[in-house]
Structure 1
Amino acid sequence: MTPAPVIELRDATKSYPGGVHALRGVNLTVHQGELVAVVGPSGSGKSTMLHVMGTLDKPTTGTVRIAGYDVSQLSDSRLSALRARHIGFVFQHFHLAAGRDAVDNVADGLLYAGVSLRERRTRAREALAKVRLEHRYSHTPSELSGGEKQRVAIARALVGDPTLLLADEPTGALDTASGEIVMELLHELNASGTTICVITHDSEIAASLPRRVRFKDGEIVSDSRPIFPTEEAGS
């Protein structure tokens, strides 16, 4: 049985004034439980894809469905709710609050979830344990290594139990050893059921993931995942 789609893009385009076409008729389906690399050089459309998949931006034309919801049919408030419930983000440069310890930085990921501060902190500690940072609960970002900061950022993305984790160049600001730890962690999280898309320009990272979607000039030029029979029948 084919897993449920988490992301569905159909003929998605994104254009900007001046004739810039960042996405050109993109068709992509990511199913529950997949671990996918979206790979390509700078300017290929990867960042635009991240923003569209994360509902941070809407396509110019085409359809985007996240967790079964047609993004174009949602109001701004419902779109924000969809994002808060279903999508976790990890960025290259961490975006941690300087004066707050690891627990509170992670707890901030639940600010709009309607739970008490005590519950947010309890769930934050659980998320930090998942990324093997139990010994860093009370440390502020200035007391953490780059790899530890990224693991805090991953815990913050996971604390709301999202359907989808989007990681934008998650090892880009890290040394090789720290980057390997972060990628190992993403593999572990995927093995426990989290659907993950890693946006990267690094061919070695892409090669280490089960599925590779290659971008060039706003188009998908290759996709290593075979088509499911149900997709073929519906095409």
Structure 2
Amino acid sequence: MEGLKFLLAFVLLALASSFVSASDPSPLQDFCVAINETDGVFVNGKFCKDPKHVTEKDFFYSGLNIPGDTSNIPVGSNVTAANVEQIPGLNTLGISFARIDYAPYGGLNPPHTHPRATEILVVLKGTLYVGFVTSNTENRLISKVLNPGDVFVFPIGLIHFQFNVGKTNAVAFAGLSSQNPGVITIADAVFGSDPPINPDVLTKAFQVDKKVVDYLQKQFWSDNN
């Protein structure tokens, strides 16, 4: 009996540790400024610059005051990212940032997920209808209309969106709990994959006529990031 309890405790600890490792691990040093070269120490997917050569530029990024152009993007939104690719000093720190601009009524940051990050969004300008959908056990929509100063959280991995319901441009800023949160835009991933997913799979999955799937796969799926 004691042996069974020990085994159960060991399994629970193993599961707990696997859940913890699902997000960016905690750093083991002050910083690990990312470099593209391979002559450093391999940490969290990026090599580290020699700390003696680190400067303030490694932790700085300028330009989030500049509106993103939404005029030539079909979905009417533009995401300006500030992650480890733009700020090398974010490497191993488990955080990043983004600015999202939305065209007047109809500007959409389409349904997408961040596989490695929870997102916290604050509206600076305009009115946004936002929401996320819970996992398949319920598929429940949790949504809210946000005004300037309002904050909303999108849990890690869940499908979410933002839609401008105002008559003017809208602007929001988002913090994400990963140096490289990633983004999977649902329509783009499903209907715009390369090579395409077999139409028979999508016809059965979405319970629609094959002509609908063929039409969707032929569309140009734009990237607003």
TM class by shorter chain equals: under 0.3
TM-score between the two structures when normalised by the length of structure 2:
0.26
Greater Rg over alpha carbons, structure: 2
TM-score between the two structures when normalised by the length of structure 1:
0.25
- Greater helix share, structure number: 1
Higher relative contact order (CA 8 A, sep 6+): 1
